[in-house]
Amino acid sequence: MLSDVSFDAAEEDAVLSVIRSGWLSMGPRTAEFEGKLAAYTGAGHALATSNCTTALHLAMLAAGVGPGDEVIVPSLSFVATANAVLYVGATPVFAEIESLDRPLISPREVEARITPRTKAIVVMHYGGFACQMDAILGLGPPVIEDAAHAIGSNYRGRACGTLGILGCYSFFANKNLAAGEGGAIVTNDDRLFDDLRLRRSHGMTTLSWDRFKGHAFTYDVVDLGFNFRMPELTAAVAIAQLAKLEANNRKREIAARAYLEMLPRELEIPFGREPEPGARHLMPVLLPAAVDRSAFMARLREQRVQSSIHYAPIHQFSHYRKLAADVSLPVTEEYARRVVTLPLHPKRSTEDVAQICAAVRTALD
């Protein structure tokens, strides 16, 4: 399998204790998870959300992005990165990656797309590898991090997600910290945090939990908000997974090193000469240009090896072509044509990786 969860009695007990407590909607577990996530990342504040897509949506609103604004985003990402810009009525401007070896948004390509309307830049730390943050932060516009791949990765000693004004994590079932669904935003800015907290729950000034505890009896609605809250069952699983994150990230790293040693030499391996990033999320390889990727993936599947593609470029999806048909990003497009992602998760042993590499060899011949 491409991805798998690593659950045991810790997650089972966590869920059971929520059910026995009788309190299911956002409350003490969510607050505990937020405290632990802030401590783990070193962020001033952490806010748990229903998923990373809603976190990105809230981040756009908190950053004041709206109609008429442009936001520079990578095209080599999951579609939610750009959808968040559309949700608030702004225009995503797609920027090119650095190279086939470093498929991260390029500071030079971002700079070339800055206009007076540029309200923010979104970076995405592909596979867990940090973008060139010093250069990108130096360009001027505020930076929002889509850190869905990068919980546990660092850039010059600081956690990915805490480098820009706002950072968003995903706890979807296949992410390094897996809670099924779920997300979070971190920030060091008190004012942004207050805005996020209000909008996460309908723009209301108090939560049901506060009213239940007798801290409040009524509320006002001071702005347009949403229901983007994290449920307690999710928060309980997320707390258990956060406790294992470092160990699981080390296991991913070991599997990745085994891949780097054993994969056939005719494959190009993005980031292949770089140190492991701390939270490796993906194991991408680039096929030689002449290899038929669908046939290669089918031959892997015949050998019971699941593979995937990260990603089809966002600017080439039908919906995005309707909005702007003339976007051309040759390096992103070539990367997306040749990339295949191989299975990577904490339960992959070195022997599993050896078997997959043998299957890759067979599929290439």
Find the binder of ligand PLP among 124, 185, 344, 357 (CB under 6 A). Answer: 124
Total residue length of the chain: 365
Find the binder of ligand PLP among 70, 109, 146, 232 (CB under 6 A). Answer: 146
The least distance separating ligand PLP from the CB of residue 202, rounded to whole angstroms, comes to 20
With binding defined as CB under 6 A, does residue 30 bind ligand PLP? no
DSSP state of 305: -
Find the binder of ligand PLP among 29, 119, 149, 345 (CB under 6 A). Answer: 149
With binding defined as CB under 6 A, does residue 305 bind ligand PLP? no
With binding defined as CB under 6 A, does residue 53 bind ligand PLP? yes
Residue pair 70/119 in contact (Cβ under 8 Å)? The answer is: yes
Find the binder of ligand PLP among 14, 26, 46, 52 (CB under 6 A). Answer: 52
With binding defined as CB under 6 A, does residue 341 bind ligand PLP? no
- Known active-site residue 175: yes
Which lies closer to ligand PLP via its Cβ, residue 53 or residue 357?
Answer: 53
Residue corresponding to tokens 């590898």 = 129
Q: How many residues bind ligand PLP (CB under 6 A)?
A: 14
DSSP H helices, the chain, are: 9-21, 28-41, 52-62, 80-87, 107-111, 133-137, 190-200, 208-212, 232-262, 293-302, 318-323, 330-338, 350-364
With binding defined as CB under 6 A, does residue 172 bind ligand PLP? yes
Residue of 36, 119, 175, 322 with catalytic role: 175
Which lies closer to ligand PLP via its Cβ, residue 76 or residue 363?
Answer: 76
**Collapsed DSSP state (helix, strand, coil) of residue 209:** helix
The residue range among 2-10, 45-53, 204-212, 233-241 that interacts with ligand PLP, by the rule CB under 6 A, is: 45-53
Taking the C-alpha atoms of residue 146 and residue 156, their distance in angstroms, rounded to an integer, is: 18
DSSP state of 288: -
Taking the C-alpha atoms of residue 223 and residue 225, their distance in angstroms, rounded to an integer, is: 6
Angle at 221 between CA 216 and CA 226, to 5 degrees: 105
Find the binder of ligand PLP among 72, 80, 122, 357 (CB under 6 A). Answer: 80
For 185, list phi and psi in degrees, rounded to 5: -120, 140
Burial of 330 (0-12, 13-18, 19+ CB in 10 A): exposed
The residue range among 146-154, 224-232, 244-252, 340-348 that interacts with ligand PLP, by the rule CB under 6 A, is: 146-154
Which lies closer to ligand PLP via its Cβ, residue 120 or residue 360?
Answer: 120
Residues marked active site are found at 175
**Site residues (vs ligand PLP, CB under 6 A):** 51-53, 77-78, 80-81, 124, 146, 148-149, 170, 172, 183
